[in-house]
Amino acid sequence: MRFDIKTRVFSAYVIVLMLGAVLAALVYHYGNATLGASRVLTGRDVPMLHDISTLQIVTRSIEIDLYDYYTRQDRASFLARYAQQRNDTAHLLSALRERTLVSSRHHALDGLYAQLDALTDRFYRIMSAGDVDWDHARKRLKQVSASTNEINRVLTEIRAEVRAGIDRSGMATETAVNRTRVLVLALSIAIFVISLFVGYHSNAYITDKAERRRLAMFPERNPNPVLRLSLEGHVMFANPGAEHLLQLVGEDARDTSALLPYDLLRRLDDVRVTEHSYDTWEYRVGSRTLECGIHFLPDLECFHAYISDITERKRAQEDLVFQAYHDALTGLPNRRLLQEQLAQTLHAPGRDGMRVAVLLLGLDRLNVIIDGLGHGIGDDLLLAVAMRLSSILDQNSGFADTATQYCFGGEVFALLIPGFKTSNLPIRLAEKVNEAMCEPLHANAREFFLTFSIGIGVFPLDGQDADTLLRNTDTAMNRARELGGNTLQCYSEDMNARAAEWLTLENHLRHAREHDELRLYYQAQVDVRDNRLVGMEALLRWEHPQRGLILPAEFIPLAEESSTMVDIGEWVLRTACIQNKAWQDTGFDDLVVAVNISARQFQRQDLPELVARTLSETGLPADRLELEITESVAMQDVNHTTTTLCQLKAMGIKLSIDDFGTGFSSLSYLKGFPIDKLKVDQSFVRNLVSDENDAAITRAVITLGHSLKLKVIAEGVVTEAQLAQLRHDGCDEVQGYLYGEPVPADEFADLFRGRVLPVAASSF
Ligand code: C2E
Ligand code: MG
Ligand code: MG
């Protein structure tokens, strides 16, 4: 158990009081005893000694007077003296009797005096006879002498006893006095020592208290907020500084507790157990940043809270940090921040095959412009370039959130792609940058055309750490500069070759339509119940003069990055409509052609208009056209999807969700789309028979589709077993190599001559 100083001083003070009381009681007690002893001495023993002496003298006088009477025979004076002596003797004996308790001695004394009286009487009568018998008288005188001797002896004994009594009571008094003295001394020393302790601590306490009282004046004059809090965290005192700050933060001016951390109670608990009973916190109140130091004062049973408004300091710190990590002109993150973020990205766990790319973009010829037209123009152009780059990464560009933009000062910008899997993403982005720079920049009411020398570095190929990667990317950028600018260079030769190939391909694709290199293939869609052909999906192919037939997976992402895909999409739609119209006209008027709509096409506001125009120009009935959008495209912007689909649906066009199960459709959204069909993605159909999970997903999609009154078609059906399973699960239609691969239109026409398709094994 721990006692605070206040308790200790109080206890010591109580002990002093108790010791004082004990001392007083002892002094009183032993004083009484001593007083009793001295009273005995003065009131009894000393008078008794005096009486005894007087009695001895009187007795001797009687003897002397008898002798005197014998010799001088003066009867009258004898009688007078004798009467007086008898009186004195009686008086002294009576006083002696009262003072002494020993009665046996009194009896003896009384007897001796009675005997002396009788002898005296007899002597007097002998002496009073006419004829004095002198012999007889002398005999009596001898007897008187013997008697007075005896009386003196007894009196001497009594006196010896009284003396002994006096000695004893003197001893007792001395002992009592000594004991009192020792006790008084001991207790006085104890009281003195404890009083010293009490005095010392009281003085310290009083000094401390006075000091505290003086200190307590400080909060009043302190311009910083100071609060005193109860153990429960209630504000007991707030200085004028606190009220001033309260007005600054705009809180209710009466409630200074608004200045304290919102989780105050937890913090108070923490402060109690910290080593120095003190801790500080930073937090925000309104628009201000406050710092609060809380001090626990157990002896005062309260907390003191010292609050400072550190808003300006924080802002200054943040400004400093911002300046350290950002380019002064453009406000973009600078090289230092790129280095740190790159290092962090590279060290982040679980990269799992993800790549990281850095693009360094050096503006070509900027120095020439600055030399000629001045730094003002140079700065304006840098700002314009920064904005142009930002627009590439904004929400609607297709590169949204793929990269972060940096400016190194001077004329170098950078883009960091923190994680990607498609190997050509950096090149596509670089291409996009170059494409964006084809548009003129405006500064000082003039037009400028600027280009970039772009260096690309990819982790882990071009550097295992941030520094190496940046250094190598820098090398690549310088190589692009050496090549005359307006070009991109990858650090590794391998990537360079692929980039070159990719760029060539993209360049060719732009002209594929003009050069009549696009082909549309058709793949049958069949009713599961009776193997009847119900429609076909139009699938694009590119017949490249050198590389032969290229599948859409290879070139559609390229086309999607530029506006090429819009052109190609238009061509596909028109061609498919024309083709189906031709088949309709030959009697197969219930076949529906399904056309894939790309993300870029679907984003365009004029899609419904384009479809309507195409239908009217080709003459294909709207219900013989089906448009497929993938699940992920449908979920990109749900509002836009709903609007577009409703417009298309209103025309009577059929709609389906392609690759269903690969995106993250929300059922509630799906319900809101006016669609006709779900296309189960072929990745589930592939292992339908062997993988229980895929089978379950397929079954679930079928059930879901039916519950929403939709048809369900399974893609990629290759085996009889898959077909049997799908038929068993109630799937409506199928599409896949089992019934035929996608083929050109003329080959496809042969397929539906009989309308009921035999499965692939027998038909092809
Ligand atoms: P999709 O729309 O899901 O098309 C089905 C793909 O599966 C086609 O590949 C088709 O050839 C393939 N396929 C069909 N049956 C089987 C099968 O039994 N086994 C396997 N392994 N594959 C089968 P394709 O023609 O290479 O097209 C790939 C993707 O390219 C299409 O997937 C579609 O998203 C896109 N695409 C094709 N043509 C166009 C088009 O004209 N415009 C747009 N925007 N995208 C298109
Ligand atoms: Mg499709
Ligand atoms: Mg599909």
Question: What separation in Å is there between the alpha carbon of 602 and the centre of ligand 3?
Answer: 16
CA-based torsion, 591, 592, 595, 596: positive or negative: negative
Over residues 664-680, mean pLDDT: 84
Q: Can you tell me the mean pLDDT for 750-762?
A: 57
Q: Higher confidence at residue 618 or residue 446?
A: 618
507-748 under CATH 3.40.190.80, yes or no: no
Q: Residue 475 Cα, ligand 1 centroid: separation in angstroms?
A: 41
**Ligand 1 pocket member 737 (CB < 6 A):** yes
- Spacing, Cα 525 to ligand 1 middle (Å): 13
**What whole-number distance in Å separates Cα of residue 655 and Cα of residue 595?**
10
Residue 9, SS3 per DSSP: helix
Nearest CA to ligand 1 atom 41: 540
**Residues 621 and 584: beta-carbon distance below 8 Å:** yes
| CB distance 539 to ligand 1 below 6 Å | yes
Asked if residue 575 has its Cβ within 6 Å of ligand 1, the reply is no
Are 226-316 and 339-357+364-406+419-457+465-493 equal in CATH topology?
no
Amino acid 412: pLDDT: 95
pLDDT > 70 in the chain, percent = 94
pLDDT for res 577: 98
Mean pLDDT of 498-503: 73
Closest Cα to atom 46 of ligand 1: 596
C-beta of 565 in contact with ligand 1 (< 6 A)? no
Q: How many Å lie between the centroid of ligand 2 and the Cα of residue 403?
A: 30
Contact call for residues 245 and 307 (beta carbons, < 8 A)? yes
**Residue 517 pLDDT > 50, yes or no?**
yes
Residue 109 pLDDT > 90, yes or no?
no
Ligand 1, atom 27: closest residue by C-alpha: 552
Q: Are 357 and 425 in contact (CB under 8 A)?
A: yes
Mean pLDDT across the stretch 595-619?
A: 94
CA distance 660 to 723: 18
Say whether pLDDT at 361 is over 60. Answer: yes
- Residues 480-485 have a mean pLDDT of 84
Distance 595 CA to ligand 2 centre (A): 7
Mean pLDDT, residues 316-324 taken together: 91
Question: Which of 519, 526, 539 is the best mutation target for the ligand 1 pocket, counting ligand atoms within 8 Å of the beta carbon and taking the most?
Answer: 539
Identify the band that residue 764 occupies on the pLDDT scale cut at 50, 70 and 90: very low
Half-sphere exposure of 553 (CA within 13 A, CB side): 1
Q: Under a CB-based contact definition with an 8 Å cutoff, are residues 595 and 538 in contact?
A: yes
Give the mean pLDDT of the chain: 87
Domain ranges across the chain: 2-221, 226-316, 339-357+364-406+419-457+465-493, 507-748
Q: Taking residues 228-246, what's their average pLDDT?
A: 88
**CB atoms inside a 10 Å sphere around CB 424:** 20
| Ligand 1 atom at shortest distance from the alpha carbon of 551 | 26
Q: What are 363's strand-pairing partners? A: 452
Nearest CA to ligand 1 atom 17: 716
pLDDT(760) > 90: no
Asked if the model's pLDDT at residue 253 lies above 70, the reply is no
Four-way CATH pick for 339-357+364-406+419-457+465-493: 3.30.70.270, 3.40.50.2000, 3.10.20.30, 3.20.20.190: 3.30.70.270
Average pLDDT over residues 724-752: 92
Cα 573 from Cα 614, distance rounded (Å): 8
The pLDDT, as a whole number, for residue 251 is: 62
Q: Which ligand is nearest to the CA of 525?
A: 1
Summarize the confidence of residues 5-30 as an average pLDDT.
82
Q: How far is the CA of 606 from the centre of ligand 3 (A)?
A: 24
680, pLDDT greater than 90: yes
Are β-strands 355-363 and 288-297 bridged in parallel, bridged antiparallel, or unpaired?
unpaired
Whether residue 3 has pLDDT greater than 70: no
What pLDDT does 763 receive? 34
- State the pLDDT confidence band at 100, using cuts at 50, 70 and 90: low
How would you label 258-295 residue by residue, b for 16+ Cβ within 10 Å and e otherwise? bbbbeebeebbeebeeeeeeebebeeebeebbbbbebb
Percent of the chain at pLDDT exceeding 90 = 38
- Cβ atoms 608, 575 nearer than 8 A: no
- Cβ atoms of 466 and 339 within 8 Å: the answer is yes
Compute the average pLDDT of residues 1-29: 79
Whether residue 325 has pLDDT greater than 50:
yes
Q: Which residues, including other chains, have CB under 8 Å from residue 74's CB and lie 6 or more apart?
A: 68
Does 572 contact ligand 1 (Cβ within 6 A)?
A: yes
Which numbered atom of ligand 1 lies nearest the CA of 737? 18
Beta strands at 625-630 and 654-660: parallel, antiparallel or unpaired: parallel
Query: Does pTM top 0.75 for this prediction?
Result: no
Taking a C-beta distance cutoff of 8 angstroms, is the pair 688, 695 a contact?
yes
Using the predicted structure, report yes or no on whether residue 759 has a pLDDT greater than 60.
no
In what order do the strands lie in the sheet containing 302-309?
Answer: 235-238, 226-229, 302-309, 288-297, 278-285
Q: How confident is the model at residue 700 (pLDDT cuts 50, 70, 90)?
A: very high
What value does the mean pLDDT take over residues 301-307?
A: 91
| Range with the largest mean pLDDT of 142-146, 177-181, 297-301, 421-425 | 142-146
Tell me, in angstroms, the distance from the centre of ligand 2 to residue 662's CA. 13
Confidence of residue 95 (pLDDT cuts 50, 70, 90): confident
**What's the mean pLDDT in 227-250?**
87
Spatial separation of the C-alpha atoms in residues 158 and 102, rounded to whole Å: 9
Whole-angstrom Cα distance, residue 591 to residue 614? Answer: 18
**Test site for ligand 1: of 522, 555, 596, 607, most ligand atoms within 8 A of the Cβ:** 596
pLDDT: is 761 or 497 the higher one? 497
Taking the centre of ligand 2 as the mean of its atom positions, its distance from the CA of residue 628, in whole angstroms, is: 6
Kindly state the average pLDDT of the residues 647-662: 94
Whether residue 740 has its Cβ less than 6 Å from ligand 1: no
Confidence of residue 353 (pLDDT cuts 50, 70, 90): low
Beta bridge partners of 565: none
| Mean local confidence (pLDDT), 32-57 | 81
pLDDT at residue 268 is higher than 50: yes
Provide the pLDDT for residue 648.
97
Confidence of residue 559 (pLDDT cuts 50, 70, 90): confident
Mutate to test the pocket of ligand 1, among 575, 598, 715 (most ligand atoms within 8 A of CB): 715
pLDDT of residue 571: 96
Query: What's the 631 CA to ligand 2 centre distance in angstroms?
Result: 11
Does 382 have pLDDT greater than 60? Answer: yes
What is the average per-residue pLDDT within 322-344?
94
> Is residue 714 lining ligand 1, measured as CB closer than 6 Å?
no
With 80 as the cut, is the pLDDT of residue 436 above it?
Answer: yes
Query: The dihedral of CA 255, 256, 261, 267: what is its sign?
Result: negative
The answer, yes or no, to whether any atom of ligand 1 lies below 6 A from the CB of 356, is no
Give me the DSSP letters along 267-313. HHHHHHHSTTSEEEEEEEETTEEEEEEEEEETTTTEEEEEEEE-HHH
The answer on pLDDT for 437 being more than 70 is: yes
pLDDT at 404: 93
Residue 656 has pLDDT above 80, yes or no: yes
Q: pLDDT band for position 42 (50/70/90)?
A: confident
Ligand 1 atom nearest to CA at 521: 25
Q: What's the DSSP call for residue 623?
A: G
Shortest-distance Cα residue to atom 3 of ligand 1: 659
Q: How far apart are CA 364 and CA 380, in angstroms?
A: 16
pLDDT of residue 350 exceeding 80, the answer is: no
Inter-axis angle of helices 552-561 and 493-512, nearest 10? 80
Task: Say which DSSP state 515 is in.
Answer: T
Instruction: Judge if the beta carbon of residue 742 lies within 6 A of ligand 1.
Output: yes
CATH fold of 226-316: Beta-Lactamase (3.30.450)
For residue 761, pLDDT over 50 is answered with: no
Contact 203, 24 (CB under 8 A): no
Looking at the predicted structure, is the pLDDT value of residue 8 above 90? no
| Protein residue whose Cα sits closest to atom 16 of ligand 1 | 716
pLDDT value for 351: 58
How far is residue 444 from each of residues 330, 373, 376, 407, 633, measured CA to CA in Å?
Answer: 17, 10, 9, 22, 42
Is residue 10 pLDDT above 50, yes or no? yes
**Residue 646: pLDDT above 80?**
yes
Confidence of residue 456 (pLDDT cuts 50, 70, 90): very high
Average pLDDT over residues 10-14: 84
Nearest ligand, CA of residue 549? Answer: 1
